[in-house]
Structure 1
Amino acid sequence: MATNNTTVPHPEIPVDIGVSLLTLIEAALIIAGMIVLGRLMRRFILRKSKETTLTWIINEDTADIIFRMFVLGGIIWALYLLGIMSYEIWNTTVGNIAFAIGFFYFAYLIAKKSKDYMIASSGKEARPDVMVKAKVFYYIFLTVAFFLALNFAGVSGELSAVLAAIGITGIVLGFAAQTVVSNFVSGVFMYFDKPLSIGDQVQIGELEGVVEDIRILSTRIRAWDGTLIRIPNEKLFNSNIVNFMRYPVRRVDVDMGISYSADAEKAIRIIKDVLDGIPLVLAEPEPLVYVNELSDSAVMIAIRAWAPSEKWFDVRTRIIRDVKKALDEAGIEIPFPQRVNWFANELRVKVEESGEREERA
């Protein structure tokens, strides 16, 4: 009887998985070495930040960014060594995608740091103007970094299609959000025009108040009654803006009437003496007091005095109060409106004595 010595082949278990133990150790050493180098570089930058005046670029934030770059670079290097970065995905490699993501991430950190520095270094006065500039720089920087990252990712062939799609989407969104776009553009134009600053007392059309905040799409005004008014930048840009705080001094205009029987020259001398006694009334430009108009009921005297812009209201109220008091003490009448009525026919008035009315009763 024949014996069948044919053996059935068994599937072999693969022993080599493509990565040797030595390669794993080498990759781990690379990551550890880059972490150590990153820490050393971070300490070096922190030490230099205390010795230099360029703290806007050599500081703790910069040290953290450099440390992250070393760590991420070590991880990518180790993955390349292990062969993982060579895998193909969507006509590109994992390495290209990882590099593009890392590039965009650090571009975001740099853009954010630059924006924060521009805003922080502007100070309180220039902050509203620099705010718009910083945001425009931030978004433009990120947009450029995004398209560069797409190129690094190996999708430059599809970049034209992406740009075309973005262009079409932009047109559609532009028609759908015309108000938003116009407000944004107006906000950019206002940055160059610089009509307002936070804290200014302004009049915009029929609205008056203090500027609380200037944003990329709208401006917020706190009215005199304490209410908040939000004005779209498009409307603000096309409105007549009166800025009461633009210049350091502002003129106080007061018109006051005296009776026709009063001595106008004496009243002018009294008013000038009152102005000389108010410390916040500026000597230069010199205050003006003169007869301005002969109205129906009074001789109108114009008072024109200059005061610091932030003290304008206080100076105006004090001028009115002190001038009224000084004219009253001098016996100069401030008349109320008077009218003389003429009748075509003579009026006859019958007056009866109280005693006669009692007798008739």
Structure 2
Amino acid sequence: MANVTGNTTTNSPRGVGSLIPIEISLWTGIEAILIVIGMIILGRILRKLIIRKSKETTLTWIINEDTADIVFRMFVLGGMIWALYVIGVMNYQIGSTSVGNIAFAVGFFYFAYLIAKKSKDYLIMSAGKKPSSDVQVKAKIFYYTFITIAFFLALSFAGISAELSALLAAAGITGIILGFSAQTVVANFISGIFMYFDKPLNIGDQVKIGELEGIVEDIRILSTRIRAWDGTLIRIPNEKLFNSNIINLQRYPARRVEIEIGIAYSADTEKAIEVIKKTLNEMPLVLAEPGPVVFVKELGDSAVVLSIRAWAPSERWFDVRTEAVSRIKKALDEAGIEIPFPQRVNWFANELRVKVDKES
């Protein structure tokens, strides 16, 4: 029979884990409980102090209720680990490491995750209500970089450095295999990085990509999401987006409105141009510099085609164009300038003869 001390045995194989005899006396148990209670009380006190301080300082991005909760959790977890050390549980060996090392590594990674998430949220919130894609991409890169570093540090703290080297080697081989089997994912990822430095578009921009047109909703590592004018969501892989012709309709503050309208050949062209210019000058959203331009573009089959060009704020381009078309039509009607229907003149090479039936 195995010798039993406390709740553990002493004849376990070393390869699986060395069980250390644990003798828990009454005083040891009371000490462990007092440590946990004391750390909880201390954590609550610090939490209240941080929340009170957050109402008096301008550094609310770091001294706030979220920070107070993180500090409280750190004290609670630290108290539990300390108590387990006092009891002796943390000395239990698992392979080449111990329970204490693993517990410290898990706690370290957990709080690193909380700090990384809080920092990412702060970077995004500090940019305003509508953060640019540049800010969001930077925040995500910082978050994933911080988490990755914390993960490998946690493995090191856990005391499995030898296993870590084997893990990295396996990860490298796995990465090569996945690289060949997931070329599209890798291409989208690399294209996303290139787009970050190229910056052809930002969140909130009105864009046209091939036959697709809408507003950029989100730019992610592998894809970009666009909300079309009909309210549907379009997901475009970054590789396809990077290799496409991207027309950014809102990159610059002003955008040109182009309208073509035909008037009758019998109409006074100069008068029509003056009427149109006057109409555009009366519109508050039409820019005075550069001013509107109206000229005869061509002599069409049924009308003299006038080309109208005016500049407007990019975010109000559609409103200006629709209003300009409506006002110009009304102004030409009031001036007696005809906008003709399409007309055709039929010409016959020989004399046209028509037979008339008298009875009918």
State the AA in 2 paired with 1:314: D
Looking at structure 2, the residues matched to 56 and 154 of structure 1 have their Cα atoms a distance apart, in angstroms, of 35
Looking at structure 2, the residues matched to 197 and 214 of structure 1 have their Cα atoms a distance apart, in angstroms, of 8
State the AA in 2 paired with 1:311: R
Instruction: Report the identity percentage.
Output: 72
Asked whether the 8 Å contact 1:289–1:303 carries over to 2, the reply is: yes
Correspondent of 2:54 among 46, 49, 58: 49
1:12 deviation in Å? 11
Q: Please, which moves more after superposition, 237-246 or 187-196?
A: 187-196
| Cα 1:41–1:337 shift into 2, 3 Å | same
Q: In the alignment, does 2:173 pair up with 1:168?
A: yes
Looking at structure 2, the residues matched to 315 and 75 of structure 1 have their Cα atoms a distance apart, in angstroms, of 66
* Secondary structure class of the residue paired with 2:163: helix
| Cα 1:226–1:110 shift into 2, 3 Å | closer
What does residue range 99-138 of structure 1 map to in structure 2 within 5 Å? 99-138=104-143
1:300 deviation in Å? 2.4
Correspondent of 2:256 among 246, 251, 255: 251
State the AA in 1 paired with 2:83: A
Looking at structure 2, the residues matched to 14 and 113 of structure 1 have their Cα atoms a distance apart, in angstroms, of 46
What does residue range 1-361 of structure 1 map to in structure 2 within 5 Å? 18-344=23-349, 346-350=350-354, 352=356, 357-358=358-359
Looking at structure 2, the residues matched to 205 and 82 of structure 1 have their Cα atoms a distance apart, in angstroms, of 68
| Cα 1:226–1:159 shift into 2, 3 Å | closer
State the AA in 2 paired with 1:49: S
State the AA in 1 paired with 2:286: V
Looking at structure 1, the residues matched to 125 and 103 of structure 2 have their Cα atoms a distance apart, in angstroms, of 33
Asked whether the 8 Å contact 1:133–1:191 carries over to 2, the reply is: no
Any gaps of 5 or more consecutive residues in structure 1? 1-10
Asked whether the 8 Å contact 1:126–1:197 carries over to 2, the reply is: no
State the AA in 2 paired with 1:237: F
Looking at structure 1, the residues matched to 86 and 232 of structure 2 have their Cα atoms a distance apart, in angstroms, of 64
* Secondary structure class of the residue paired with 2:130: helix
Larger Rg: 1 or 2?
Answer: 1
Q: Please, which moves more after superposition, 73-82 or 213-222?
A: 213-222
Return the TM-score normalized by structure 1.
0.86
Asked whether the 8 Å contact 2:108–2:154 carries over to 1, the reply is: yes
Asked whether the 8 Å contact 1:125–1:197 carries over to 2, the reply is: no
Q: Please, which moves more after superposition, 267-276 or 12-21?
A: 12-21
Looking at structure 2, the residues matched to 18 and 262 of structure 1 have their Cα atoms a distance apart, in angstroms, of 109
Q: Please, which moves more after superposition, 18-27 or 280-289?
A: 18-27
CA deviations 1:311-339 (Å, max 9, x no partner) are 22222122222222322333323334444
CA deviations 1:200-231 (Å, max 9, x no partner) are 32211111223333333222333333433221
Looking at structure 1, the residues matched to 3 and 279 of structure 2 have their Cα atoms a distance apart, in angstroms, of 111
* Secondary structure class of the residue paired with 1:42: helix
Aligned length: 345
Any gaps of 5 or more consecutive residues in structure 2? 7-20
State the AA in 2 paired with 1:320: V
CA deviations 1:273-329 (Å, max 9, x no partner) are 111222222222211122233344433222111122232222212222222232233
Task: Report the counterpart of residue 5 of structure 1 in structure 2.
Answer: none
